[in-house]
Amino acid sequence: MDLRWSESEEAFRAEAREWLTAHVPDGLPSGDTRDGFAAHLEWERALFAARWAVVSWPERYGGRDASLWEWLIFEEEYYRAGAPQRVTQNGIFLLAPTLFEFGTPEQQERYLPRMAAAQDLWCQGWSEPGAGSDLAAVRSSAVRTEGGWLLSGQKTWTTRGAFCTHLFGLFRTDTTAPRHHGLTYFLVPLDAPGVTVRGFPRLDGDEGFAEVFLDGAFVPDADVLGGVNEGWRVAMATTGSERGLTLRSPGRFLASVDRLIGLYRERPDESMRNRVAQSWIEAQAYQMFTLQQVTSILDGEPPGAASSLNKLFWSELDVRLNESAHELLGTDAEFDGEWARAFLFSLAGPIYAGTNEVQRNVVAERLLGLPRK
């Protein structure tokens, strides 16, 4: 056990902190509106120009070859500085790990630099009206045509889909195969003929969701990621990253709980102090769990189904933390604002990236070994 950062890691932290302190913009409008998204893109491009957009990526794609430890440090500093939400996250954190693992060199060269620079903006096309938690139920299909595929069907709850340029998603390419085996992972430009995108409001009223309708949209063979009918296996690699570390690092909650403590000091309420303390404890626990998990990953043991433990813990922690803020605000909680937004968003945590009910099934069946049926 040695829970100290090395000198070079501390230097990395200092450099990140200095840059963020000087550059983090004040109060951007919500990234889930058209204008706010544009403002966030400027921020993303500033991050990229200073090589902070994708710190863990290789230098040739605009990263810093940062270690997993340095990535955690960067996240801590990012949220500590109160920096904006990452509107590029579905690309850089969800698609990119899959591209690095399954993409051809040609695909990597074509997509990764533009993704890092926030030129291509990616949204996730998995959920469908009839396929939420039960992802393998997707019905959108791809039919062979000369040089590629014709995609048809409907995706929905696509985060920031109305503002993005590309979609990565699962489409059924073999209707006769068992349902997990007939899927293919496609990279789809949203300006292709036959694609229609309609934004719709999330719980906070912003246009953060979209429905994507595909009506025979052409995608060339070069934009199949990881092989025809291999989509389920390829996609599962991304869910691992999404549930666990890369989507929600501990730095985010350490910063949130600091803000909660700040709110408590502004509006002291003895009866709430233990709940504030509990959120601090839980954020610490998530930090320690993560340090242990990253050590295992670096020792060559990927977390696998254990990433469901992360997802259950951070999502429930986030809801409790924001409920405490809501209580501390008292009747002022009625006014729309940063805390109100955070509260509503925290309630999405137990739903997206696989509902917590599905995660509990995964934990019970794959970690505890309980029978599936």
Catalytic residue list: 242
Selected from 119, 129, 288, 337, the binder of another protein by CB under 8 A is: 288
CA distance 20 to 74: 10
* DSSP H or E run through 41: helix 34-49
Query: To the nearest whole angstrom, how small is the minimum distance from the Cβ of residue 343 to another protein?
Result: 19
Whose tokens are 């709980």? That residue is 257
CB-wise, 176 or 271, nearer to another protein?
271
Selected from 276, 329, 348, 353, the binder of another protein by CB under 8 A is: 276
CB-wise, 3 or 22, nearer to another protein?
3
Check residue 264 for interaction with another protein (CB under 8 A).
yes
Residue type, 123: C
Asked whether the beta carbons of 77 and 20 are under 8 A apart, the reply is yes
CA distance 212 to 109: 26
CA distance 56 to 65: 5
SS (H, E, C) 136-149: HHCCCEEEEECCEE
Query: To the nearest whole angstrom, how small is the minimum distance from the Cβ of residue 373 to another protein?
Result: 6
Site string for another protein, 82-121 (x = CB under 8 A): ----------------------------------------
Check residue 69 for interaction with another protein (CB under 8 A).
yes
Check residue 300 for interaction with another protein (CB under 8 A).
no
Query: To the nearest whole angstrom, how small is the minimum distance from the Cβ of residue 315 to another protein?
Result: 11
* DSSP H or E run through 232: helix 231-243
| Subset of residues 337 to 366 that bind another protein, contact rule: CB under 8 A | 357, 359-361, 363-365
CB-wise, 141 or 239, nearer to another protein?
239
Report residue 364 as tokens.
């019970």
Report residue 75 as tokens.
């996240």
Selected from 143, 281, 304, 338, the binder of another protein by CB under 8 A is: 281
CA distance 173 to 159: 24
Q: Classify burial at 146, counting beta carbons within 10 Å of its beta carbon; exposed 0-12, middle 13-18, buried 19 or more.
A: exposed
User: Which residues here bind another protein, judged by CB under 8 A?
Assistant: 1-6, 9, 69, 261, 264-265, 273-274, 276-278, 280-282, 284-286, 288-289, 291-292, 294-296, 299, 309, 312-313, 357, 359-361, 363-365, 367-373
